[in-house]
Amino acid sequence: MLKIKVIATGVENLTDARYFAAMGVEAVCFDLSAISPESYYAIKEWIEGVQVYVKYTSESMDADAVIIDQLETYQADGSMILESSYDSIRESSLPAGQIINEHQAWQEYDQGKQAEIISYAATQSHYLHIPWTKELLEAAVAADEIHGIVVSGGAEEKIGYKSFLELDELFDIVEEEM
């Protein structure tokens, strides 16, 4: 059981999907623009115990009707999640549970801006996709300043083989003590 909610995104292979399901994430999230229907269904058949979401990544808040129609095609368990910048989500009237993605820009922000983003994500119950370090996540969890985080899958070193050492460190922090 995890102390906070975790969504795994960027899942494009079975190795990632099975790892994240075993770690107890809330959801495995597939980007509709990055995975074929055949791969999606093949991976979905092999995982259990997690919600399956699809996401739409956008810089604007205009939802693409074609992508929304694909929710039925992909038969996702949950509703669509929007992944966008802090400013875009803050200015919108979207419900809780969206993904604030500041992964690329995070290092450009000063500590005040970083604290503002973390606080907003927690108070509005959004997931935060930033380059989590062990120290940053420990501090956020200890201060109870986080609703949920986003971790990412990636390419396999070879089919069926991948190192999860960095992710294991993050999951050790958010795992409930038994």
For 148-176, the DSSP string reads: EEEEE----SBTTB---HHHHHHHHHHBP
Q: What is the pLDDT of residues 62-121, one digit of tens each?
A: 444 545 555 555 555 555 677 889 999 998 877 888 899 999 999 999 999 999 999 999
Phi, psi of 41 (to 5 degrees): -65, -40
- Average pLDDT for the chain: 85
> CA–CA separation, 30 vs 56, rounded Å?
9
Total of domains in the chain: 1
Q: Among 18-22, 45-49, 66-70, 156-160, which is the least confidently predicted range?
A: 66-70
Q: Among 16-20, 45-49, 171-175, which is the least confidently predicted range?
A: 45-49
How far apart, in Å, are the Cα atoms of 107 and each of 110, 111, 114, 131, 141?
Answer: 8, 9, 9, 9, 20
CATH number at residue 124: 3.20.20.70
> CA–CA separation, 167 vs 132, rounded Å?
10
Higher pLDDT, 56 or 165: 165
Higher pLDDT, 30 or 162: 162
CA-nearest of 97, 160, 102 to 136 is 102
DSSP state of 108: G
Q: Among 41-45, 87-91, 146-150, which is the least confidently predicted range?
A: 41-45
Share of the chain above pLDDT 70, in %: 85
pLDDT of residue 60: 45
pLDDT of residue 133: 94
- Residue 14 belongs to domain spanning: 5-174
Token output for 34: 């990055």
CB 101 within 8 A of CB 129: yes
Answer whether 0.95 is exceeded by the pTM.
no
Q: Mean of the pLDDT values across residues 29-48?
A: 83
pLDDT of residue 134: 94
